[in-house]
């Protein structure tokens, strides 16, 4: 039986996720091999894949040719990007990298343009009637007239350079320091990440909301699965409207009135998606089954399960 090969692009610290893909192999009839690549030759996730390679930065002119060489020589069947920059790189070089029926786990270019730009995402949500916090961009909208706000990088990920804006003084300082940030109404409520897997035809197969109970540096440290029907319905509607495929993680706030407001849409595995996988929403297995042309196993997710995360270390000889 032919071995199918999956390459993780920008694997870096995603050890738990790659291990989840390793564990899922035992439940799939088709053999799989996992290849991890990263610009950091010492990235920990490289140690838990079956094979690994270091690549130059995406900005390096030699990166594409080296990645294409890996894909050709190792007969890579699919590429899964694990950062927004990796998604943008695959999108830029979609034609070259998808040769030979290689599956790229990325969305259509128009969807990436919407979701990787928080101002575009806000305009899309407004136009399509999805709930999203009121958002401001200095170059294109009136100045903010409500507080509190949260300031975010327009194209950022992982909570980088975010600030809470309590009053006009905070706003003046932040606008001067970060003139290209977007400013978003800070909704009071419970923060959720929602893991989604949709098949290649855009049909959602799994939607699992996780309440973010504690966060450090933009990464969830403690989460609790809550199979809230209204959140699931909202995510399914948005997923179908955007024709999302593959793994995604959507973020939002459930306010005191039970209304869910979308704040971000990550077109990749979120950092806490390992919770959903461990609780029975086995997205790696679903990816394997789809690639092998098999029917999906019926997922059974443990509602109210809790994840707490802690740092680990990997030791190896250079």
Report pLDDT for 318.
65
Mean pLDDT, consecutive 10-residue stretches, the chain (318 aa), reads: 95 97 96 98 96 97 97 97 98 94 97 96 97 92 88 83 90 89 94 97 97 89 97 98 98 96 96 97 98 93 96 84
Report pLDDT for 281.
98
DSSP line for 66-79: HHHHHHHHTT--EE
Report pLDDT for 77.
98
Q: Are the CB atoms for 87 and 248 separated by under 8 Å?
A: no
Q: 191 is written with which tokens?
A: 């923060």
Whether cis (ω within 30° of 0) applies to the bond prior to 148 is yes
Delineate the domains of the chain, giving CATH numbers in brackets.
4-106 (3.40.50.20), 134-185 (3.30.1490), 189-308 (3.30.470.20)
Report pLDDT for 270.
95
Task: For residue 172, give the 3-state DSSP assignment.
Answer: helix
Q: Are the CB atoms for 112 and 149 separated by under 8 Å?
A: no
Calpha distance 162→185 (Å, rounded)? 13
Report pLDDT for 317.
76
Report pLDDT for 157.
77
* Residues 139-146: contacts with CB under 8 Å, at least 24 apart: 139/180, 143/171, 144/171, 144/183, 146/185
Q: Are the CB atoms for 119 and 140 separated by under 8 Å?
A: yes
CA distance readout (Å), 75 to 2, 92, 276, 288: 11, 21, 30, 16
């Amino acid at each position: 039986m032919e071995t199918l090969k999956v390459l993780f692009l920008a694997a870096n610290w995603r050890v738990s996720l790659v291990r989840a893909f390793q564990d899922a192999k035992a439940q799939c009839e088709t053999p799989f091999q996992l290849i991890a690549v990263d610009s950091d030759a010492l990235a920990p996730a490289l140690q838990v894949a079956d094979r690994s390679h270091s690549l130059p930065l995406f900005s390096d002119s030699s990166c594409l040719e080296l990645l294409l060489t890996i894909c050709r020589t190792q007969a890579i069947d699919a590429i899964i990007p694990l950062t927004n920059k990796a998604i943008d790189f695959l999108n830029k070089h979609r034609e070259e990298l998808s040769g030979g029926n290689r599956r790229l786990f990325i969305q259509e270019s128009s969807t990436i343009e919407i979701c990787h730009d928080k101002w575009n995402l806000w305009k899309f949500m407004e136009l399509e009637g999805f709930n999203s916090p009121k958002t401001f961009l200095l170059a294109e909208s009136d100045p903010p007239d409500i507080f509190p706000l949260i300031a975010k990088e327009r194209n950022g990920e992982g909570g980088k350079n975010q600030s809470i804006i309590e009053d006009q003084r905070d706003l003046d300082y932040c606008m001067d320091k970060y003139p290209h940030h977007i400013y978003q109404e800070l909704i009071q409520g419970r923060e959720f990440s929602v893991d989604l897997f949709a098949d290649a035809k855009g049909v959602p197969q799994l939607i699992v909301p996780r309440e973010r109970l504690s966060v450090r540096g933009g990464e969830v440290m403690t989460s609790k699965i809550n199979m809230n029907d209204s959140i699931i319905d909202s995510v399914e509607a948005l997923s179908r409207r955007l024709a999302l495929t593959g793994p995604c993680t959507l973020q939002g706030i459930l306010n005191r009135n039970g209304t869910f407001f979308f704040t971000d849409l990550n077109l990749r595995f979120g950092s806490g998606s390992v919770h959903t996988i461990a609780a029975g929403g086995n997205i790696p297995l679903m990816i394997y089954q789809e690639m092998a042309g098999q029917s999906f196993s019926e997922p059974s997710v443990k509602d109210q399960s809790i994840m707490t995360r802690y740092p680990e270390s990997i030791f190896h000889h250079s």
